[in-house]
Structure 1
């Protein structure tokens, strides 16, 4: 398809040019191509240039930004490249609004790293949010695949130096970022949720043990270690990869799902005491009255006493099976449930002072109870099929089968052995389990919270689990390409900062980050090169992109980003 020009003579002898949109068609009858006029634009000196420009713009919207830029390049200029801009533009605006750039630059004063380190750290955070990759791959991404204001290229050594320095300033930076975020979003920090996860490494070798303090950090030669452990160690994996070394990552999250800080411990660290360190680390933040919310892994008596120091309180999950005498008594008490919301029913149980001073709330979800009953029925049916007809087997064969069943916890709990060694389905165990269908038990030290607030507050612990899913599936916390402890810790901090930006964007816009990211990345920076020099400009904003920027209160990028003339 092309623009065809024809010339005609007027009555006064002048030559007039006419423009037509045409293309060639093959005529099989005469075995040659013929010109077919698709549209006539009329006389060149009477051309509706504004109308043609509107037509080109309308057609360009059907193309991707790079192709559209190439198609509409001004005369004399050559379109050379297009890079995604929108995602970085939004992340950078939030980075500055939270004061992270100023906080880092202030701490860079007098350092050999220079202010360029702030831009490098932002680029690494943006890489986690937009295109997670190794630090080596991130340098190529920065140089060729994205437009970052103030940073054209970077080498991997500069990335590692910036990460090492980030680890030094993280405690002070985390506090400044938290207060800026709380002010920006008017956060409610009356509830803080804490949970841990693990992330494994694709290696068979754990790190050599070194002396560590009570917080899991390495100690110097002049300090007495509390324990010895390698950072990448074998432990109880929450990813079901006990065969690989791992590290433990903890996160504190507000009721709005905003992650306020992250921690990292050796892979063999037990969960039980970690929440005490977390509270101690955040004591200097001058938070108002805080209720800590955590699952049953943190419900030890020592943790409960520690969380109450300084007027604090807690909402903790309690074990339903094999729990404390107080928990057993709470579950056995009769009472009427009160429906609150979201198919959730609650009842509070008051115990005698000699059993517990805390309040207990039993939560019941009828829909979850139906699922539990159906799951148990499948397990009992599978167990029945396994042991059916075993009475005729030798005892050694029955012992062997019982050993196999003992490796399957979902079947083991329903198996009973008679004094004679026969295998039976345990009807009493089934009845006990049925009494727990759809239930979970909460324990709180706060005397002022209503039962509804207690139940719904604990239910918001799901926000932490959502954060872990984002960290692992969107930001790609794993795989970790580092082997040095400090680099692994810095990598976790970068992932936390990326998650912080993502959750602010999701909370503000009401949309998921993958949806927002994909739309923003269609806003691109395009580069033209011509005889006079090079300039870079942005593509036209779509309505959706404009709505996202409005919701986030972020100005659109400048139309002309760079202009370099040749001398």
Structure 2
């Protein structure tokens, strides 16, 4: 409510008015209360016009609070008729989980980014509405672009654009992919601090439902071992597992070469200069280590013990020289107590290659050693059955294939050709057992505490979780679009959906799994009650309370009037 005045020839009157939307959908106002004329109020209050206006505004505030209280506590009565049929073509159930993602979307100022892009082009469609709906549906109901358009029509705020506008927008999004990533990163600080002093990097690939190579869709080593053309993605996340930037490259390209272009973009466009690069051994080539030894950057990478020079490998496998991580006291890992079997042990030494002076850290985990031994025991049992049944198949490249423990003899001692004889290769089993529980890390942080270095390295699971979420929960594969620009836009949407989801998850006070949060967001729906308002038809839980608290609005009232729902929608857009 607000204060309005009207002036006549001889006097000025003060009123309290309230704005509302009439039945025709137009904004209008009505007078709630007349406060009096300026002369009357000045005499009664003993003040000038400014003092009268201040008093009038306070009266308007009191009336507003009174109205809110009466509205919130009001009992809504809606008549239902048992002999009246439902109307044709009227939607009764609406999806509302997107409201929480919308809070993140506008918190990242994605609408401002879309406006900036619109100024560069002459399109008439609403890019902001299209991009936001594609992000929300990728989280809530992942599917093709056509199906996403249909899913968005179930939102409380239905699309006003057409399907063909989506495909036109994909081309624009692809062209502005770098701009969007850099702007989103800068805007993400409006939602809180980011742990960008540690950057994790990894690669994965996505397959296409095609049988021939085309553009960047090339045959390569598929993570799913599929015989389809693939495209590869390189992804940076920060130390909390929040996506930072991504790039795409051909499926046939060596993933080692993907780091430099993307990291250069981060240095130039994102303004990140000082960070620790962390990756697995597959992306820890010496060139990549040298790249992250420059400037204010450092690296902590996984090192394959089997690929170490013979002298260093022998030192790594030697059971002597280990220390307890908790207190640095020397420990004989061959004679551990029951308490120590739950701990972690390490040893380190200088490690010099052709281009770098590094530090090699070897860790030993009794718990992980027992796990590897148990897994191998099952594989050996399967290998023994293969030998006993004579059903040894050709060994696959999978390192967990039990057939790797089976060897064969196809000649006699005299060298003559003989019947093939399969046997269990005990030497190979013994060779693998040497590495049980061991893990190696290389770094150029020569003086830092080992516990801190290992803590950073252990955080790599978060980027693996990002890929798992995109592939499994957001259905980023298989990829059905075929044009290069639309492929780029598809993965940009998947990247942004992952960013929104993980930032929303981070905002919750109590940790929850990806599956739990997705289930909650996808279950939040509202039933239209005779066009008078909405009734939530989801289960209120601790997570829903935390979602409401994080986003600054509530949708879990027993009944929500249309006016109240519009207020909620505005709040979800941080207005």
Return the TM-score normalized by structure 1: 0.72
1:336 has 2:322 as partner: yes
Which residue of 276, 281, 290 corresponds with 2:260? Answer: 276
Within-5 A mapping of 1:250-289 = 250-284=234-268, 285-289=270-274
Check the 8 A contact 1:526/1:538 in 2, yes or no.
yes
1:119 has 2:120 as partner: no
1:164 has 2:166 as partner: no
SS at match of 1:351: strand
Q: What is the CA-CA distance between 1:423 and the residue it aligns to?
A: 5.3
1:185 has 2:192 as partner: yes
Check the 8 A contact 2:405/2:428 in 1, yes or no.
yes
Q: What is the CA-CA distance between 1:478 and the residue it aligns to?
A: 1.3
Within-5 A mapping of 1:358-373 = 358-373=358-373
Which residue of 290, 299, 307 corresponds with 1:314? Answer: 299
1:195 has 2:169 as partner: no
> Cα 1:427–1:123, aligned 2, differ >3 Å: closer, same or farther?
same
- Structure 1's unaligned 5+ residue stretches are 1-52, 58-68, 208-229, 391-400
- Structure 2's unaligned 5+ residue stretches are 1-73, 327-339, 416-420, 567-575
Q: What is the CA-CA distance between 1:513 and the residue it aligns to?
A: 4.5
Whole-Å separation in 1 of the counterparts to 2:372 and 2:111: 50
Deviation per residue, 1:86-128 (Å, 9 max, x gap): 3111111110011111111122125322461111111111110
> Cα 1:425–1:520, aligned 2, differ >3 Å: closer, same or farther?
closer
Within-5 A mapping of 1:196-211 = 196-207=203-214
SS at match of 2:306: coil
> Cα 1:140–1:553, aligned 2, differ >3 Å: closer, same or farther?
closer
Return the TM-score normalized by structure 2: 0.71
1:512 has 2:518 as partner: no
Within-5 A mapping of 1:8-157 = 80-109=90-119, 111-114=121-124, 116-143=126-153, 145-148=154-157, 151-157=158-164
Check the 8 A contact 1:129/1:475 in 2, yes or no.
yes
SS at match of 2:219: coil
Whole-Å separation in 1 of the counterparts to 2:359 and 2:343: 19
Check the 8 A contact 1:233/1:268 in 2, yes or no.
yes
SS at match of 2:476: coil
Check the 8 A contact 2:351/2:358 in 1, yes or no.
no
Query: Runs in 1 of length 4+ with deviation above 6 angstroms?
Result: 75-79
Compare 189-198 and 347-356 and name the one that shifted more.
347-356
Whole-Å separation in 1 of the counterparts to 2:79 and 2:140: 25
Whole-Å separation in 2 of the counterparts to 1:70 and 1:364: 71
2:553 corresponding residue in structure 1: 555
Q: What is the CA-CA distance between 1:402 and the residue it aligns to?
A: 8.3
1:6 corresponding residue in structure 2: none
Q: What is the CA-CA distance between 1:296 and the residue it aligns to?
A: 0.7
Check the 8 A contact 2:317/2:434 in 1, yes or no.
no
Check the 8 A contact 1:84/1:521 in 2, yes or no.
no
Whole-Å separation in 2 of the counterparts to 1:342 and 1:539: 51
Whole-Å separation in 2 of the counterparts to 1:520 and 1:407: 40
> Cα 1:192–1:527, aligned 2, differ >3 Å: closer, same or farther?
same
Whole-Å separation in 1 of the counterparts to 2:525 and 2:231: 38
Aligned Cα root-mean-square deviation (Å): 3.5
> Cα 1:123–1:299, aligned 2, differ >3 Å: closer, same or farther?
same
Compare 369-378 and 189-198 and name the one that shifted more.
369-378
Check the 8 A contact 1:348/1:359 in 2, yes or no.
no
Check the 8 A contact 1:315/1:458 in 2, yes or no.
yes
Whole-Å separation in 1 of the counterparts to 2:306 and 2:201: 23
